[in-house]
Amino acid sequence: MVDRAQLADFLRTRREALQPEDVGLPRGPRRRTSGLRREEVAALCGMSTDYYSRLEQQRGPQPSEPMLGAIARGLRLSLAERDHLFRLAGHGTPTRVRRSDHVDAGVMRVLDRLVDTPALVLGPTGETLVQNDLALALLGDETSLPGDARFMAYRWFTDPTSRAVYPPEDHDLRGRQFAADLREAYARDGRGSVAERLVEALLGASAEFAAVWAEHEVGHVRTQVKRFAHPEVGPLELYCQSLLDTEQHHVLLVFTAEPGSASAEKLELLRVLGPEARRG
């Protein structure tokens, strides 16, 4: 059962504890609200203001687990706070909750401050958990995809359109890297893991993946510079840096351009165009 009163109170107190600067938002001269506004939190969670407001007003529906995960990320909750949120919403004890989907509040704070460069957080098996606006403009929205499509390796070998983000001459290299990353996750997590399920699904769906998987490549050499093919601004060369959260096995990827380069100018143009640069 949902404890609507406690859920509403918890959401309100966590919202009021967040300041605009904590999530990369401008404070503005006319702000009177303690903490963030409801519409700001709703935007951070990727939901409508009406839906979020009804939860704080004790009249919303029982949130689903994916919705609760989005709220936990939007409110920058710790793992303990996230588990408490799930219990208040009637989704059982923390042992039933997939903890790997929750992005650490400290990692989220770093991401909030990266407003002029693309950045995203990947989960333990390569699923995209959260992207900033510039990553949305560069790569498109990878977090709202259904099911296994959230995993880059799965998209790569089952959906040819997913490869358009890279130039064709880099496709073989990228495919081998994605397969090697999946093998590393499989070896780490073992039988019954998400990685094993993805491997079995890909072996049945893609002859290309089966051929690459049979070569058993590990420790694939990574290139620091990655090339992208964008439909609006054209080719970009970006440096990829990664920050590992060892507790959650999450990786924060940050893409930067050499100052003064053509790619730096294109990133600035993408920042102005915003996420619509990929949607159109």
Q: What is the pLDDT of residue 280?
A: 46
Q: What is the pLDDT of residue 244?
A: 86
Q: What is the pLDDT of residue 184?
A: 86
Q: What is the pLDDT of residue 277?
A: 67
Q: Would you kindly state where each structural domain of the chain is located, as residue ranges? A: 4-102, 106-279
Q: What CATH number matches the domain at 106-279, 3.90.180.10, 3.40.50.80, 3.30.450.180, 3.30.160.620?
A: 3.30.450.180
pTM to 2 decimal places: 0.74
- Kindly give the confidence (pLDDT) of every residue in the chain, 280 residues in length, as a single tens digit, with 9 standing for 90 and above: 889 999 999 999 999 998 888 887 877 777 777 789 999 999 999 899 999 999 999 988 899 988 898 899 899 888 888 889 998 999 875 554 445 678 888 888 899 889 899 999 998 888 999 999 999 999 999 888 888 898 999 999 999 888 999 999 999 999 999 999 898 888 888 888 889 999 999 999 999 999 999 988 876 667 789 999 999 999 999 999 998 887 778 899 999 999 999 999 999 999 998 877 675 4
Question: What's the topology of domain 4-102?
Answer: 434 Repressor (Amino-terminal Domain) (1.10.260)
Looking at the DSSP assignment, which residues form a beta bridge with residue 56? none
